[in-house]
A and B are shown apart, each in its own frame.
Chain A
Amino acid sequence: MNIMKTYLNNKRAVALFTLPALLLYTIVVSYPVLQTLYRSFYDWNGLGGGTFSGLSNYVKLIHDPLLMRSLRNGALFALVLVIFQIGLGTLLALVCADPNVKGRKILKAGYFIPVVLSVTVVCQLWIAIYDPTSGLVNKLFQVLGISYQQNWLTSSTVSIIAIAFVNAWQFMGFQFSLLYAGVKSIPEQYMEAAIIDGCSKWKAHLKITIPLMAETYKFCFILAITSGIGAFIQMLIMTSGGPGTTNYTLTYMIYRYAFLDSKYGYACAISVFLVALSLLATLVINRLFGRERVTY
């Protein structure tokens, strides 16, 4: 044991092993986080020191008409993810976990493939799919004899849903995998017992499987809602935040104010607000699901 001690607290080795990672992480991750917080109190254009302006960036943010729009879009985005990925995902996971399902491997791989594609490819693909004249969606409606046609990405009402759906579609496989693993982690005896007691399969899932998956759901909800709050890339690629500013989100505001308008201090305040909002959402979800925690 002595030998172990002399070897394993070799200070030089510890330094050699940890310092490169810690140093890089500190410069690239920790330091910028503190900078963002610090700069959010400054009127700063990215050059020089800027001038201290107290809370004025935050006051300005509250009065920015883009804020409400961004929050609304973030909420709608999150809602689409929750309904599609968690709602439909739960149904798929429950059915797919059934022992009688054939071709499970192919199904799971098919659900997951979009996850590994580049967001750029997926967005461009859906730009084509949403194309009003030659896109798949409108063509499909024609073929089915539905007269409804839509300018999916330029409509000021539908476009946020259409954009959120692209994200929901792409990352469905990820949420599905989490949910599927959650369903699989529940001991089969519970279901068997419930069914022997005369419970129908779906009632048993509703009363037993789903409540027991509280931990899984907690994570799925955190993922979906923080994705909604932080949404950006789909808007950037598919509509440039437009038409006009209709599809702005918090991150879009940060991007625009910092990199297009050089209002870095203000953009930093929005970043701080975004992180605070995400943390708040995480805490609330933790609370909601923590109470229902069931132990096996």
Chain B
Amino acid sequence: MKKGANNKSMVIKKKIMKPGQLLLQGVLWLYFIVSVYPLFWMISYSLKNNNEIFSTNPFGIPTHFRIENYIHAWSNFNIPRYMVNSLFVTSISTIGILILSILFSYAVARMAWKLRVPARVYMMIGLFIPLQVIMIPLAILVKDFHLINTYGAIIVPYIAFGLPFSSLIFYGFLRAIPFDLEESAFMDGASVYRTFISIIAPIVKPAIATVAILQFLGVWNEFLLAYILISDESMKTLPLGLLFFQGQYSTDWGGMGAVMTIASLPTVIVFLIFSEQVERAMTVGSSVKG
């Protein structure tokens, strides 16, 4: 049996080692360059002056690292403010999504009540609703509640939009836990709430991490809603604030590059640390939608 398997894989190896294979692997690395080089270019021009960017050295590593671009960007533009806004909005939204969707999923996945299936389906419909169909009434709703240009104007919708996807992930996770766990806790006289906090919550931790990472990335980068609902300079999140630079400082490429690099760092760092989790969660979660 084992011998047969070895023979098979040898046959395959022979077929694989064609010279064409080398070319194809070259294609992989070529696209790698297409994918990564623009970012390398951005970082490198964030460290150059205009002269170097435009004529003397447009493609390569900066000859002299102009850190002053960063200092200038940080102190002259509104970057710290945008950063604080983004951090605040993202963390509150993520925490809100986590709390509401875990509770909801727990009731839907493990408790016994008549409307649990309709409630779950109702929530899942949200996965298919594009933002475009909501944004007009939402903008008016926000205006009516006098929330325009407040953190609430975007935090509340971000939490609501995060619920369907997060509930989907938690639901799948919670269904997979054996029911005996709670049974023994109930036997010992613990209440539903207590059982939830001391037994269920710790088990769900990996799913919490996944959802938190995804929602962090999603909310941090969200643009459309923020663009419609926030116009006050002091309330802008980073993606929105960056837009402002385009008109104002378009002649200072180095400064622009520095601002863009600063704005990208948080999500890129999160991705590089949790890359496999991010990819797996995004692809697994989204394939359910199809």
Q: Residues on A close to B: CB < 8 A?
A: 3-5, 7-11, 13-14, 16-18, 20-22, 24-25, 27-33, 35-36, 39, 46, 88, 91-92, 95-96, 98-102, 106-114, 116-121, 124-129, 133-134, 136, 139, 143, 169, 172-174, 177-178, 181, 191-192, 195-196, 200-201, 215-216, 218-219, 222-223, 226, 230, 232-233, 236-237, 250-251, 254-255, 258-259, 264, 267-268, 271-272, 274-275, 278
Task: With CB as the reference atom, state the residue of chain B lying closest to A9.
Answer: B112
Known A13-B192, A113-B271, A271-B136: A124·B107 in contact at CB below 8 Å: no
30 contacts between A and B (CB under 8 A): A5-B112, A7-B195, A8-B192, A14-B113, A17-B104, A21-B104, A30-B122, A32-B133, A32-B134, A32-B138, A33-B129, A39-B136, A95-B28, A98-B24, A107-B28, A110-B32, A111-B31, A111-B32, A113-B268, A116-B270, A120-B242, A128-B256, A169-B38, A177-B283, A181-B287, A192-B12, A219-B287, A271-B132, A272-B133, A275-B133
B278 sits at the interface (CB 8 A): yes
Known A21-B123, A274-B133: A139·B58 in contact at CB below 8 Å: yes
B279 sits at the interface (CB 8 A): yes
B156→A28 contact, CB < 8 A: yes
- Chain A residues with CB below 8 A from B21, complex form: 98, 100
A134→B100 contact, CB < 8 A: no
A21→B167 contact, CB < 8 A: yes
Known A21-B103, A24-B160, A98-B16: A219·B11 in contact at CB below 8 Å: no
- Contact for A124 among B179, B187, B246, CB less than 8 A: B246
- Chain B residues with CB below 8 A from A134, complex form: 53-54, 58
- Chain B residues with CB below 8 A from A33, complex form: 129, 133-134
**Closest CB of chain A to B20's CB: distance in Å?**
9
A28→B182 contact, CB < 8 A: no
8 additional contacts, CB 8 Å, given A111-B31, A192-B12, A250-B132? A7-B195, A17-B106, A118-B238, A134-B53, A195-B15, A196-B8, A215-B287, A271-B133
The 6 closest A-B pairs by CB, nearest first: A219-B290, A28-B160, A32-B137, A35-B137, A21-B104, A17-B107
B198 sits at the interface (CB 8 A): no
Task: With CB as the reference atom, state the residue of chain A lying closest to B23.
Answer: A95
- Chain A residues with CB below 8 A from B12, complex form: 191-192, 195
Given the complex of chains A and B, what is the CA–CA distance between A28 and B271 in angstroms?
Answer: 29
Interface positions of B from 234 to 251, Cβ below 8 Å from A? 238-240, 242-243, 245-246
- Contact for A92 among B28, B100, B141, CB less than 8 A: B28
- Chain B residues with CB below 8 A from A215, complex form: 287, 290
- Chain B residues with CB below 8 A from A7, complex form: 182, 186, 191-192, 195
Task: With CB as the reference atom, state the residue of chain A lying closest to B159.
Answer: A24
Given the complex of chains A and B, what is the CA–CA distance between A28 and B51 in angstroms?
Answer: 50
- Contact for A9 among B42, B100, B113, CB less than 8 A: B113
Given the complex of chains A and B, what is the CA–CA distance between A5 and B179 in angstroms?
Answer: 12
- Chain B residues with CB below 8 A from A29, complex form: 126, 129, 134, 160-161
B119 sits at the interface (CB 8 A): yes
- Chain A residues with CB below 8 A from B224, complex form: 232-233
Known A17-B107, A95-B25: A196·B137 in contact at CB below 8 Å: no
B233 sits at the interface (CB 8 A): no
- Chain B residues with CB below 8 A from A219, complex form: 286-287, 289-290
Given the complex of chains A and B, what is the CA–CA distance between A162 and B284 in angstroms?
Answer: 30
B132→A275 contact, CB < 8 A: yes
**Closest CB of chain B to A99's CB: distance in Å?**
8
Given the complex of chains A and B, what is the CA–CA distance between A233 and B239 in angstroms?
Answer: 12
Task: With CB as the reference atom, state the residue of chain B lying closest to A286.
Answer: B290
Given the complex of chains A and B, what is the CA–CA distance between A254 and B135 in angstroms?
Answer: 9
A230→B130 contact, CB < 8 A: yes
Task: With CB as the reference atom, state the residue of chain B lying closest to A127.
Answer: B246
Given the complex of chains A and B, what is the CA–CA distance between A20 and B102 in angstroms?
Answer: 11
B169 sits at the interface (CB 8 A): no
- Chain A residues with CB below 8 A from B246, complex form: 124, 127, 237
Taken residue by residue from 47 to 59, chain B's Cβ proximity to chain A (1 for < 8 Å, 0 otherwise) reads as: 0000001100011
Given the complex of chains A and B, what is the CA–CA distance between A228 and B256 in angstroms?
Answer: 29
- Contact for A218 among B217, B223, B260, B290, CB less than 8 A: B290
Known A32-B137, A110-B32, A124-B256: A8·B110 in contact at CB below 8 Å: yes
Given the complex of chains A and B, what is the CA–CA distance between A139 and B28 in angstroms?
Answer: 24
B228→A259 contact, CB < 8 A: yes
A196→B53 contact, CB < 8 A: no
- Chain A residues with CB below 8 A from B242, complex form: 118, 120-121, 124
- Contact for A121 among B156, B217, B263, B289, CB less than 8 A: B263
**Closest CB of chain B to A195's CB: distance in Å?**
6
Given the complex of chains A and B, what is the CA–CA distance between A20 and B54 in angstroms?
Answer: 55
Task: With CB as the reference atom, state the residue of chain A lying closest to B29.
Answer: A107
B108 sits at the interface (CB 8 A): yes
Task: With CB as the reference atom, state the residue of chain A lying closest to B32.
Answer: A110
Known A13-B111, A118-B220: A192·B8 in contact at CB below 8 Å: yes
